[in-house]
Amino acid sequence: MATRTPFEVISHTRKVCSLYKRMTRNLQAYYHDRAQFRYQAVLLRATFDKHKDEKDMIKATKLVQKGEDHLYSLLHYAPIKFPNSPGGVAYDRNVIIPDEAVDFWDPVEKAFYPKYFALREQRKKEFVELWQKKYGKVDPKEYEHHH
């Protein structure tokens, strides 16, 4: 598994693609009408295509920096953020329901899945047996004494 270093070298191509994508998303925030947005996106793409064959890396790097500055000057006050992306309203809101919640189901609900609950009870019994085999049985008197 490759790990990312904090000072990763990013290729010029990736910088250009990232800039183009961020500029397009910024246009989306400004133009809610699909036709207007597409027109602006085509103009943006034409600007990028005009310089795509630039061989001089110094000039190409300056163009990217100029584009970054241009984007910064035109950033929308409320950029579009997808709900599950960083900064979105649902980012990192994964509710993990504990397994014990199934134990509190109503018997009528459990009756819909008889095989599942029969196997579940069997697995719970096996787990308790393994735990007792490894750690020994719990003395109820000792437990009451500590709590």
More confident call, 129 vs 138: 129
Q: Please, is 27 exposed, middle or buried when counting C-beta atoms within 10 Å of its C-beta (0-12, 13-18, 19+)?
A: buried
What are the tokens at 119? 């196997």
Residue 2: is its pLDDT beyond 60?
Answer: no
Residue 128: is its pLDDT beyond 70?
Answer: yes
Rounded percentage of the chain residues whose pLDDT exceeds 70:
93
Average pLDDT score over the chain: 90
pLDDT at 131 (0 to 100)? 92
More confident call, 18 vs 95: 18
pLDDT at 95 (0 to 100)? 86
CB 31 within 8 A of CB 23: no
Residue 141: is its pLDDT beyond 80?
Answer: no
At position 125, the amino acid (one-letter code) is: K
CB 90 within 8 A of CB 84: yes
At position 106, the amino acid (one-letter code) is: D
End-to-end CA distance of the chain: 46
What are the tokens at 12? 């010029």
pLDDT at 142 (0 to 100)? 73
**C-alpha–C-alpha distance, residues 50 and 53, integer Å:** 8
Residue 30: is its pLDDT beyond 90?
Answer: yes
Position 3 confidence tier, pLDDT thresholds 50, 70, 90:
low
DSSP class of 3: -
Question: How is 33-92 classified by DSSP, letter by letter?
Answer: SHHHHHHHHHHHHHHHHHTTT---HHHHHHHHHHHHHHHHHH--SS----TTSTTSTTTT
**C-alpha–C-alpha distance, residues 28 and 120, integer Å:** 50
**C-alpha–C-alpha distance, residues 122 and 115, integer Å:** 11
